[in-house]
Amino acid sequence: MVELVIENDVARVLERAAEEKVSGGWDALVLVAPAGATTSLPAVDQGLTRARAADASFDGAGGAHLVVTEGVPGTRLVFASVGDLTKEYDDVRRYRDAAAAAVRRARDAGAQRPLLVVAPMADRPDLAQAVAVSALGAMGGLWEPYEARVPGDGRPLDPPVEPVEKLGLASLAGPVSSELAAWVRAVERGRRLARDLGGTEPERMAPPAFARRCRDAFADTGIDVDVVDDLDVIVRDYPVLSAVARASFPVARHHPRIVRLRYRPAGEVRRTLFFAGKGVTYDTGGADLKVGGHMAGMSRDKGGAAAIAGMMLAIAELKPEGVEVVAELGVVRNSIGAEAFVADEIITGHSGVRVRIGNTDAEGRLVMADLLSHLREEARTAPSPTLFTCATLTGHAALAMGPYSLTVENRPARQQGIGVRLADAGERWGDPFETSRLRREDWDFIRPRSRADDVINCNNAPSSATARGHQFPAAFLLIASGLAAHGHRDAEVLLPFVHIDIGGSACEGGDWQHGRPTAAPVVALVAALFE
């Protein structure tokens, strides 16, 4: 990961740049600012004035411009405009996107130590995190895939695919605090892990490899890591999950794993958060095979588990007080073969609920149901518990909400405003959410049709062709995990539950095959739950 360094004396950097090409260790100045902005830094403003006179599009949002300018580090001035920010739909993501484009342009120009200078707007409280969001955008923009950084054939990397060694961070509105920089570093380290786990191809990140990568990432972090790899134990304790993985059993390198992560704070525990993450390392659809080219990109179907792992790595560094965090990641491959599970099977889950399979391509909710049931048992006696699922679950999420994460809550969570808290944090930090609500139609949709079963996992149509296709899976999860008993008004123990669907937000541009993994919703989770 690129090293992030605070540089709070930009004027001094420019003074030295007049005397030496590489000033203070920096070899480019990257400016992210509103259209028409000036900086009170003479060398920078002179370069901007010349560029604006020569290029009428210079202040347009969406691009980055290289201006050769004496008096700035390396004579490289890269400017990315965030526009005038007057439109109703403008938000802090303008800074994120501009910073990502700008540092890539500096990198492509040969810079290895660019200094990112951000010009926030003091009169815009909705842009209060512009500096931090710009830093996250820049660092995320420099990420390259794990397969490119660590070639499987052992080839030496020459030139390196991530040549930028150090990134400076400065604000024209005042000093950047060391606390803010530490927060950005921690969150970006988590996002980097999430991108690596979620974006890597299906053989390099098959379930055993996914579990090994987690062990390596959490070594010496204080996070407890436990990996369940015994097939007999998985079949016994995670029966619905193991049905999804059943066709992978003949192939050792595809065997399922349960990855358990736990963060324990120093001192008293006042809150407990439980997370179940969907980690389907490849989804063929199973017996309900994905056809017509729809299987491409299904190595990204582990984005939920990847995001939770990334969140855990971030909090390992931030060490929030008073909150214990427990995660179970179900890492499986939904293969096709003679052992594949099929529609019409009835499988009794860990909760004791009998699940009738309606569609084997609705496997993610099956994976998480058993995880959630295990977490439910611990949550019953934990201090102030909240349970979450996180998954690249439905195409309907992308159809309904576009490139946004979404939440669906049970009644106790809705009363506590957890989904609203996530949405507010996402808006401030450029990792936005939409909110949905469970309705009676969602419960009715997955009702049992006979006395032989208690719930149906899905109909036999794609979620994108099903009314309320991203809402009803939350009702299924509540029933299949046993959590439904903890949400009604007369429940002895109320357990708030939030389902997070990142089917539309996990990959840039909604392109699951080639889009860069976004690591959503790591930023929003950390900002909303651990500040």
| 365 in catalytic set | yes
Give CA 269 to chain center in angstroms: 26
Q: Which helix (H) or strand (E) holds 278?
A: strand 271-283
What are the helix and strand counts (H, E) for the chain?
17, 17
Among candidate residues 290, 356, 414, 428, the one labeled active-site is 290
Which pairing describes strands 64-68 and 76-81: parallel, antiparallel, or unpaired? antiparallel
- Alpha-carbon distance 301 to 192, whole Å? 17
Half-sphere exposure of 25 (CA within 13 A, CB side): 12
Query: What separation, in Å, do the N-terminal and C-terminal C-alpha atoms of the chain show?
Result: 24
Cis peptide before 521 (omega within 30 of 0): yes
3 state SS of 415? helix
Neighbours of 52 (CB within 10 A): 17
Among candidate residues 76, 189, 333, 365, the one labeled active-site is 365
Residue 307 carries which side chain, given as an amino acid letter? A
- Alpha-carbon distance 521 to 501, whole Å? 10
Backbone angles phi, psi at 261, to 5 degrees: -125, 140
Which two structure tokens, joined as six digits, stand for 134? 């710009």
Which residue in the block uniquely carries the two structure tokens 């347009």?
Answer: 60
Which two structure tokens, joined as six digits, stand for 408? 């669906």
Which residue in the block uniquely carries the two structure tokens 């950005």?
Answer: 184
| 290 in catalytic set | yes
- Alpha-carbon distance 381 to 52, whole Å? 63
Of 33, 36, 15, 35, give the one whose Cα is nearest residue 24: 15
Catalytic residues: 290, 365
